[in-house]
Structure 1
């Protein structure tokens, strides 16, 4: 299908690239930098961008000396470092090889369609992470094996809830409850030895580590609004975990 002028607008394509950076869990300064670099690569030297974790604004002064702006809302955020790397590479290529707007748009569509890991592999990797986290926190081999199965349950339910478009806060509460419930179950059937080690190892899948790091990096970079927003998100996520796990322990006391 032939693209319209608006769909091939350099400012819109640059903003869409920045939006994808934020949706993949990238820092706000990275999204701003990507937008400005793309606009300048296409000859718009007067380009500005402002991003927060929930939205971005970009503007340019075009060749007719008219000021134009575009706004994009960020409604979903995941952790996808592979996508961030691919987008960074695309922007560098656009700068170095003078790639056209049409080619960048095609690359964006290609990146959107990439799924480097299947759902089964992702769930298995999450379970394996729980196993090694438990060992890291000095749990026994039996605790680690139990955490492996708890991690399987957490990640599987997370995928199901995401497919039903549950809010992240509710998903995290349920994830914390599942972690506590399955950890107690593994202890009751004699699979694990230490309840605390199993819970800690498995619940690490839901701990907002990247959000906390990005909050610190954004704050250091001078993006105080973005830093505070990300830190608030991390605190709310941690509270949701505590609510979910605490509710299970209160009910089973």
Structure 2
């Protein structure tokens, strides 16, 4: 669930409910963005699990929630739940990359209209192309490195560079509107929202950690765009 971008209080609640439904009514859970800890009274039993990667995958979060409810309703045994969770982790359904790139282009166009507060019909096609190329670069670099900030910086740089080239070639007119829309698929909006929700739920450590991660991501995106405005 953490790898899929879930809130910490939801992860905490799901782990606690699974433990209680399995008969461990005194389970104690501690969750962080990088690791999970759970202890059970009686025999000295503690289990630690690291979280090596994090992203946004609501399909995985919804799948875990569904399996947890099935286990609570007695439709699955503990061993069946464990097997189902491993299967979900290995075979989570996802949209193909080409469809994600097209979706990023469409989002760039619509978000440009929202933030620019005008129907800039001339710049819409270029905003879609720039947003799609930026997301494609981000996705490619993400598959080559585990440093999320590097992939976001490269994606933002591609957005700024292609927008600048498009305006210079006469394909677009307002580079500001184009960049504002095209960069939005890279913005860590879910991370910022979850950070605030975690802090409101009392998970101050996780909330501040995720908030700092979101700020660093925003800085990486800003640096990628700033390079274009500085040298071009």
Same fold by TM (over 0.5)?
yes
CA distance in 1, matches of 2:217, 2:15: 29
CA distance in 2, matches of 1:189, 1:160: 26
CA distance in 2, matches of 1:78, 1:95: 27
Establish whether residue 192 from structure 1 lines up as the match of residue 172 from structure 2: yes
**Is the 8 Å Cα contact of residues 41 and 98 (structure 1) preserved in structure 2?**
no
Q: Provide Cα deviations, 1:76-104, integer angstroms capped at 9, x if missing partner.
A: 11101111111111101110125212211
Secondary structure of 1:51's counterpart equals: strand
1:69 Cα deviation from its structure 2 partner:
0.8
1:7 equivalent in structure 2: none
Q: How does 1:100-139 map to 2 (within 5 A)?
A: 100-112=77-89, 113-137=91-115, 138-139=117-118
Establish whether residue 92 from structure 1 lines up as the match of residue 72 from structure 2: no
1:16 equivalent in structure 2: none
Q: Provide Cα deviations, 1:91-122, integer angstroms capped at 9, x if missing partner.
A: 01110125212211221233221323111111
1:39 equivalent in structure 2: 19
CA distance in 1, matches of 2:134, 2:10: 31
Establish whether residue 70 from structure 1 lines up as the match of residue 47 from structure 2: yes
CA distance in 1, matches of 2:75, 2:19: 11
* CA RMSD of superposed structures (Å): 1.3
Secondary structure of 2:2's counterpart equals: helix
Q: Provide Cα deviations, 1:26-77, integer angstroms capped at 9, x if missing partner.
A: 011111111111111111111111111121211112xxx2131111121211
1:166 Cα deviation from its structure 2 partner:
4.4
2:58 equivalent in structure 1: 81
CA distance in 1, matches of 2:188, 2:224: 15
Secondary structure of 1:69's counterpart equals: strand
Secondary structure of 1:56's counterpart equals: strand
Number of residue equivalences: 229
Unaligned ranges ≥5, structure 1 = 1-20
CA distance in 1, matches of 2:4, 2:198: 16
CA distance in 2, matches of 1:116, 1:234: 24
Structure 1 runs, 4 residues or longer, greater than 4 Å off: none
Unaligned ranges ≥5, structure 2 = none
Moved more, 117-126 or 93-102: 93-102
**Is the 8 Å Cα contact of residues 108 and 128 (structure 2) preserved in structure 1?**
yes
**Is the 8 Å Cα contact of residues 42 and 98 (structure 1) preserved in structure 2?**
no
Q: Provide Cα deviations, 1:140-196, integer angstroms capped at 9, x if missing partner.
A: 022221111011111211221122124111111111111111111111122222111
